[in-house]
Structure 1
Amino acid sequence: MLDVPTKDDRPAEFVEALAKGLSILESFGSDHPEMTLSEVARRVGLSPAAARRSLITLQAMGYVGQTNKRFHLRPKVMSLGSAFYFSARVDEVLQPELRQLVGTFGDASSVATLEGHDVLYIAHYSEQRARRPTAVVGARYPAHVTSLGRVLLAAQSDAEFNNYLRAVKPVALTAKTVVDKEELRRIVEEVRQQNFATTVDQLDYGITALAVPIRGSSGRTIAALNTSGYSGMTTAEDLVAHRLPALRASAARLAQTLSRYPVIESIIASR
């Protein structure tokens, strides 16, 4: 099942039908590009009848298609993501800093926020040619395997992070992925102290990354910014030694820019 608010966390005006439809849209991905009715129902945690009603509605609205009893997303779904992209003015506000970082160091740079137990990429720029997971806008990965996610987890209160550790089931995406919860606690505490995070081959082999927080006008971390390179060409220590000052400067400029656009800052804020 996907992450959905529990009944205790739902406001009085919570619309169950809308939540079901959005959960169904989120259930599709690279590992589930098409599904039968029963597969959708099982993945979202709905009865087949409830899943069918939502699918028929989404199909009528053009967000879902059906081929040989298997459902799939239709291109219209992209309009939902593009609405965020343009309302947050990602190309104008975030992309220039990412291009500057990549222009200076090569490789790739991203901005992400925290969504449940995952990081959600809201901006990305890359000159990399090597195979790696796609960090396109809208991509989601478990927070514990990314430098961005560890920075965002470190920004949580003790209570929030303890709740995260109790609920999360860390998955090993490589042989090097840290899945022990006490080790994750130690890593996050270290990130809190040094105000940056590094990862090596955690999300996939060949990815070494360094991330720092982007703070809003209140001083609270609202997103994270990273720079990444190929593990065969760089090390975490190299990134810290040669890129950390520039990365922090970029994060400070982004924070200053966002402070002039309170609405955009509110849109980007991770919680």
Structure 2
Amino acid sequence: MPRLNAGDATRREAAGHGPDFLEALARGLAVLQAFGPERRQMTLAEAARAVDLPRATVRRALHTLVTLGHLESDGRLFRLTPRVLRLAAGYLGANGLSSILQPRCEQLSAQFGAPCSAAVLDGPEIVFIAYGQPARLLNLTTMVGLRLPAFCTALGRVLLAGLPEAEMEALLQRHPPHAVTAQTELDPLRIRRRIARARSEGFALVDQEAEQGFRSLAVPLRRHDGRVVAALNIGMHSERGTAAALREAVLPTLRAQAADLACQFL
């Protein structure tokens, strides 16, 4: 079995990955994840810059991903294929949360005439795993899989509040806040106070910090042992009423739903 050179071994030890960490797999996944809305297609050079890896390494990763069917290429540009959806489908089908929460989101969306979403935490971001919206707003896109910053979203704040304090603090320190709208709170102390308030009150209400003209209210979804596994959210355009009105109209129902769902989470 080939041995790591001294430089690779030192970097791996510093990162805490351990001797069984597959560097080639990690690099291939990094290349795959570099594609998205802002990089729908890339050349070899663009992909190498995106992941900050040598061109030779990225060339091998791209070739492998094309061979496996996750990417396609015209000889110059590379783009994702529908096969990558198998990865998402595997998660959505295996975790159980999505199948439980999707009908609830659709039900609540119809009840309030507003979008309803459920999300989990993935590092500094939230990821939508279920989503419902009123029939009048339906379009051809899906919000499942959408990622948003956790620090400035209602879903994110209740999920961050569910972490152990040390873990939450380390995550916030590694990922400084950035402006998403003109109303996004950027002061680290105030962000931590709002997360602490979400923890003590059992909900978070965010007013136009993540999307201009849009307010949202979220509650944590807990297992029977109290561990937070996801969050549930209703969002409304600001012209539909004040933040206080949103809280009065939505919070009791979301809390009731959270209590009802607790027994279904393993």
Query: Structure 2-normalised TM-score?
Result: 0.88
Match in the other structure for 1:141: 148
CA deviations over 1:20-41 (Å, ceiling 9, x no partner): 1222221111111112222212
1:265 is matched with which residue?
none
Of 103, 106, 111, 2:113 maps to: 106
Higher Cα Rg, which structure: 2
Alpha-carbon distance in structure 1 between the residues aligned to 2:91 and 2:128: 12
Asked if 1:69 corresponds to 2:76, the answer is: yes
Which amino acid is 1:98 matched to? C
Residues in 2 aligned to 1:103 and 1:168: alpha-carbon distance in whole angstroms:
36
Contact in 2 for aligned 1:109/1:125 (Cα 8 Å) = yes
Shift of 1:88: 3.1
Q: What is the aligned partner in structure 2 of residue 180 from structure 1?
A: 187
Structure 1 residue 42 displacement after superposition: 2.0
Moved over 4 A (4+): 128-132
Moved more, 40-49 or 146-155: 40-49
**Alignment of 1:10 onto 2:21:** no
> Residues 214 and 223 of structure 1 are in contact (CA less than 8 Å); yes or no, is this contact kept in structure 2?
yes
SS at match of 2:69: coil
Q: CA deviation at 1:208?
A: 0.7
1:222 aligns to what SS in structure 2? strand
Which of 215, 219, 223 lines up with 1:216 in the alignment?
223
Letter in 1 for 2:116: S
Alignment of 1:38-49 (within 5 A): 38-49=45-56
Amino acid of the structure 1 residue aligned with 2:40: P
TM-superposed deviation, 1:115: 0.5
CA distance in 1, matches of 2:22, 2:235: 40
Q: CA deviation at 1:142?
A: 0.9
Following TM superposition, by how much is the alpha carbon of 1:182 offset from its aligned partner in structure 2, in angstroms? 1.6
Q: 1:67: Cα distance to partner? A: 3.2
| 2:151 alignment partner, SS class | helix
Give the superposition deviation at 1:235: 2.7
Correspondences of 1:21-170 after superposition (within 5 Å): 21-67=28-74, 69-89=76-96, 92-127=99-134, 136-170=143-177
Higher RCO (CA < 8 A, seq sep 6+): 1
Deviation, structure 1 residue 98: 1.1
Q: Distance in 1 between matches of 2:102 and 2:205?
A: 22
* Match status 1:194 vs 2:194: no
Shift of 1:91: 5.9
User: SS of 1:176's equivalent?
Assistant: coil
Alpha-carbon distance change, 17 to 101 in structure 1, aligned in 2, over 3 angstroms: same
Residues 66, 72 of structure 1: 8 Å contact kept: yes
SS in 2 for 1:163: helix
Structure 2: 5+ residue runs without aligned partners? 1-11
Gap regions ≥5 residues in structure 1:
263-271
Alpha-carbon contact 1:63-1:74 (below 8 Å) kept: yes
- Summarize deviations over 1:4-63 as a string: whole Å, max 9, x none: x99534243222211112222211111111122222122223211111111110011110
User: How many angstroms does 1:213 deviate by?
Assistant: 0.4
2:250 aligned partner: 243
Q: Aligned partners of 2:13, 2:202: CA distance in 1, in Å?
A: 32
Tell me the CA shift for residue 131 of structure 1.
Answer: 11
Q: 1:126, 1:18 → 2: CA distance?
A: 37
Pick closer, same or farther for the CA change 1:9–1:248 going to 2, 3 Å: farther
Q: Secondary structure at the match of 2:36?
A: coil
* Offset at residue 222 of structure 1 (A): 1.2
**1:205 alignment partner AA:** Q
Q: Percent identity?
A: 38
Alignment match, 1:19: 26
